[in-house]
Structure 1
Amino acid sequence: MTPPIFQVCAANAAVTALLGTGPTRLFPFGEASQDVALPYAVWQIVGGQPENFLGQAPDIDSVMLQVDVYADDVAGAREVARALRDAIQGHAHIVAWRGESRDDDTNHYRYSFDIEWWVQR
């Protein structure tokens, strides 16, 4: 039920050029430290469902992810979002652009989007 978003993105040169390696700054929700370097991105599962069949168990699940990119400026947030989009599109569907904002507490710029990822069981 967990899509391979980190593995896909960490294997992409454009993503690692922006988010680094060791670690690649793409974190599951709640795992980015307070002092993480910018830019970085976080992801979380926000929904999904099994592909149900009559008479047999599902063999695949649809998982909905939300990705939030944080950067110190608008251009940086957009650049990381583009790199993630390009890395992910060969494996899953981008289904919503959730917009841009600025975090009130940190003043970091945020770009948010949703992904639907089909995960084999």
Structure 2
Amino acid sequence: MIAPIFPVCAASPAVQALLGGSMLRLYPFGMQDTVVVYPYAVWQNVTGAPENYLTQRPDVDSFTLQVDAYADTVDEVIAVAAALRDAIEPHAHITRWGGQEQDPETKRYRYSFDVDWIVKR
């Protein structure tokens, strides 16, 4: 009932190098540490549904996830987003490149994208 985004990204050496190896800074939305260390990324389910059939139970679940990377610089946030993209694409489809912005309060940068993931049960 949850797309395997964390184990997929944690297996990527590029993601590990950018987001912290054994204490990977890839969090479900709202679960990031209270002491923020940049860069980091968060993800959340936007939608999800089982693949329903008339004659049997569902055998897959479909999810749309939103992934947001945060970093101190534009180059760093783009590198994090690219590493996440490269880790995710062999397993799921990126369906939207979202906003890139600088937070007016923290002055940190954000890069957002969406992923459609089909997970076999």
* TM-score band w.r.t. shorter chain: over 0.9
1:11-65 Cα deviation digits (max 9, x unpaired): 1101111011231110111111232211000001110222121222211010110
Q: Please name the residue that 1:107 is paired with.
A: 107
Q: Please name the residue that 1:16 is paired with.
A: 16
1:60 lines up with 2:60 in the alignment: yes
Q: How much does 1:93 deviate?
A: 0.6
Q: Percent identity?
A: 58
RMSD: 1.0
CA distance, structure 1, for counterparts of residue 67 and residue 47 of structure 2: 13
After superposition, the Cα gap between the structure-2 partners of 1:43 and 1:101, relative to the gap in structure 1 and judged at 3 Å, is same
Q: Please name the residue that 1:43 is paired with.
A: 43
* Farther-moved stretch of structure 1 (101-110 vs 16-25): 101-110
Paired letter, 1:38: Y
Alignment of 1:80-119 (within 5 A): 80-119=80-119
Equivalent pairs counted in the alignment come to 121
CA distance, structure 2, for counterparts of residue 28 and residue 13 of structure 1: 20
1:61-117 Cα deviation digits (max 9, x unpaired): 101100000000111110000000001000111110012011233221000000011
The runs of at least 4 consecutive aligned structure 1 residues that moved more than 4 Å come to none
TM-score (normalizing by structure 2):
0.95
Paired letter, 1:12: S
| Alignment gaps of 5+ in structure 2 | none
TM-score (normalizing by structure 1):
0.95
